[in-house]
Amino acid sequence: MAKLTEKFYRQDTRTVARALLGKYLVRDLDGARLALRITETEAYMGRMDKACHAYGYKRTKRTETLFSPPGTAYIYLIYGMYHCLNFVTEAEGEPCAVLIRGGEAVLGESLMTQARFGKTPDDLSSYQRKNFLNGPGKVCRALSLTREQNGISLLGDTLWVCDDIKDLDLVPSSEDVQRQILTGPRIGIDYAGEAIHFPWRYWI
């Protein structure tokens, strides 16, 4: 299966955040394959972004993964209960990453709904279906991602991104066309000074 390469992740973080929209995040879970179409991302760049955990090149036990080679998964815990998945970008040593904020299930939906709600897809309420994967913590819960996967390579066989649904041996539907990319301020960063207004959130 074709996977995005380190060269892709080595680009400018904002470029990667936009380019990831419409691509497919794949998770191998004990031999079962889960996949979602990425629909929302946010860019974070430590060298000048007060919203980034490693702003000003701050290195701690938590942020060390941000200094890893491009194409590394950075997973952290917020509020003591929600995990967030990020892709490390740019050159090694530059603390930059893209947060995966939302997606649409395309493969293994029943396993994802069990992980999120303990239900089959057919048993979801309209509210649960609408809010299935529209948040970073929801994405991680559905894909069974925790701090245990922090630091793994996105170039390996556990978690990766592929460019096209054909790479998953699935037939494209009429909904797989690229939709308009929208941009705006990031969410939940009221502490970040002028960075609050950076239009580094992207969605389709």
49-76 per-position pLDDT tens digit: 999 999 999 999 999 999 999 999 999 9
Confidence bin at 11 (pLDDT 50/70/90): very high
For residue 89, what are its two tokens? 């970008």
Mean pLDDT of the chain: 93
Inter-CA distances, 134 with 22, 66, 139, Å: 15, 24, 7
User: How high is the pLDDT of residue 175?
Assistant: 57
Rounded Cα gap, residues 185 and 42, in angstroms: 9
Indicate the residue type of 127. Y
Is residue 138 within 8 Å of residue 132, measured between CB atoms? yes
First to last CA, the chain: 25
User: How high is the pLDDT of residue 180?
Assistant: 87
Rounded Cα gap, residues 13 and 109, in angstroms: 29
Task: Give me the domains of the chain, ranges plus CATH numbers.
Answer: 6-169+178-203 (3.10.300.10)
11, 26, 201: which is closest to 107 by C-alpha? Answer: 26
Rounded Cα gap, residues 197 and 35, in angstroms: 32
User: How high is the pLDDT of residue 103?
Assistant: 97
pTM here is 0.93
pLDDT > 80? residue 113: yes
100, 123, 115: which is closest to 41 by C-alpha? Answer: 100
- Residue-wise pLDDT for 121-175, tens only, equals 999 999 999 999 999 999 999 999 999 999 999 999 999 999 887 777 777 665 5
pLDDT above 90: percentage of residues in the chain: 87
Angle ∠(106,73,201) on CA atoms, nearest 5:
70
pLDDT > 70? residue 24: yes
